[in-house]
Amino acid sequence: MKTIIKYILLCLLAVNTIKAQESKKPINLSNAEVRPYKVELTHNKTTHILFPSSIEYVDLGSQEIIASKVEVTSNVLRLKTINENSTPTNFTVITSDGKYYSFNAFYNEEPTQLSYDLTKFEQQNSKQKSEVLFKDLGSTSPSLIGLFMKAIIKKNKKELNIKSRNYGVEAILKSIYIQDGKLYFHLSINNKSNLPYQVDYVSFKIKDRRTTKRTTVQESGLTPVKIYRENMELASKEKQDNVFVLNQFTLLDKQVLVVKINERNGVRNQVLKIKSSDLQKVKQLNEIRF
């Protein structure tokens, strides 16, 4: 009996030793590979790549190629080689929606293609791109935040009715939602005038409500971490909705959040004032159906 028990113990010890040795083996990451795109570059012509979202980060694998964003856009990257017969290399791009793109670049004196539209490619292919998380957005992925913003606009539910009217333009704060420490402000602009209306910028500032002319106004600015529509240009009689995502904050009874919408090259500015009681009406995003 003792011999059998010793045999069993030896077997268990051998199994544990084998498992321990196997656990020390390196992990095969082949299944985690990010499959790269193939791009041909040359030195006497410029290659352009159009991305679905704004470019946030570019890393080149070699000094033999140069790359830069096109100044008038935020989502077009231009590339070329410095010399002839450059050696193959790679580069990486991360966009504002959190997508991670990998490219293998090869030299070709006469590339078969000089322009690549990844927007069109991703619409035609169901291939899921790898995604990164931005520190400003917390644990919620950029694509999920994008879905939240789209859902808010699609739902178009008016929880609040804070308005500003000026020169035939009306701005309304329709609702405020919260998710993962982020506040989503649903803003709608209605251009009822015959003149086009272009938004220069939208600012968010916390100010003291009770101030006199002799009192210095105490204010602090808030910067959105994500905006659904970066540019707002409204034609005559057009209406547009937008969502601004800010880090969670609270207001004292004596404070007010001032949202200012400035017209580019114009004076038809709009001002919305959100009180602490309005902020208490914030809704959970899980109340919206996707």
Structure-model confidence comparison of residues 11 and 231, the more confident one:
231
User: Domain check: are 38 and 112 in the same one?
Assistant: yes
pLDDT in tens, 87-145: 999 998 888 777 888 899 999 999 988 988 887 766 555 455 555 555 556 556 777 78
Q: What is the pLDDT of residue 233?
A: 92
Q: Which residues pair with 175 in a beta bridge?
A: 186
CA-nearest of 250, 232, 247 to 191 is 232
Alpha carbons 51 and 280: distance in angstroms, whole number: 39
Alpha carbons 201 and 135: distance in angstroms, whole number: 24
**Which string of DSSP letters, residue by residue, matches 142-200?**
HHHHHHHHHHHHHH---S--EEEEETTEEEEEEEEEEETTEEEEEEEEEE-SSS-EEEE
User: Domain check: are 92 and 148 in the same one?
Assistant: no
CA end-to-end span of the chain: 66
Count how many domains the chain has. Answer: 2
Where residue 196 falls (left for φ over 0; alpha for ψ -120 to 50; beta otherwise) is beta
Question: Pick from 73, 98, 132: which residue ends a domain?
Answer: 132
User: Domain check: are 123 and 163 in the same one?
Assistant: no
User: Domain check: are 119 and 38 in the same one?
Assistant: yes
- Cα dist from 43 to 87, 88, 271, 273, whole Å: 12, 13, 51, 55
Phi, psi angle pair for 250, to nearest 5°: -130, 165
Residue 74 lies in a domain: yes
CATH of the domain at 222: 2.60.40.10
User: Domain check: are 158 and 244 in the same one?
Assistant: yes
Band of the pLDDT at 217, cuts 50, 70, 90?
A: low
The mean pLDDT value for 22-47 works out to 74
CATH of the domain at 125: 2.60.40
pLDDT in tens, 129-147: 555 555 556 556 777 788 8
Query: Based on the number of CB atoms within 10 Å of its own CB, is 48 exposed (0-12), middle (13-18) or buried (19 or more)?
Result: middle
pLDDT in tens, 154-202: 888 888 989 999 899 999 999 999 988 899 999 999 999 999 999 999 9
pTM as predicted: 0.59
Alpha carbons 260 and 263: distance in angstroms, whole number: 10
Other beta carbons within 10 angstroms of residue 111's beta carbon come to 14
Q: What is the pLDDT of residue 14?
A: 55
Question: Pick from 86, 104, 132: which residue ends a domain?
Answer: 132
Long-range contacts of 166-170 (CB under 8 A, 24+ apart): 166/268, 166/269, 166/270, 167/193, 167/267, 167/268, 168/192, 168/193, 168/194, 168/195, 168/268, 169/193, 169/197, 169/263, 169/268, 169/270, 170/270
% of the chain residues with pLDDT over 70: 77
Question: Pick from 132, 154, 179: which residue ends a domain?
Answer: 132
Domain extent, residue 50, equals: 33-132
* C-beta separation of 115 from 89 below 8 A: no
Alpha carbons 92 and 36: distance in angstroms, whole number: 9
For residues 141-177, one letter each, b for 16 or more C-beta atoms within 10 angstroms of the residue's C-beta and e for the rest, the string is bbeebbebbebbbeeeeeebebebeeeebbbbbbbbb
Token representation of residue 290: 């996707």
Band of the pLDDT at 235, cuts 50, 70, 90?
A: very high
Q: Is the pLDDT of residue 19 over 90?
A: no
The mean pLDDT value for 199-214 works out to 79
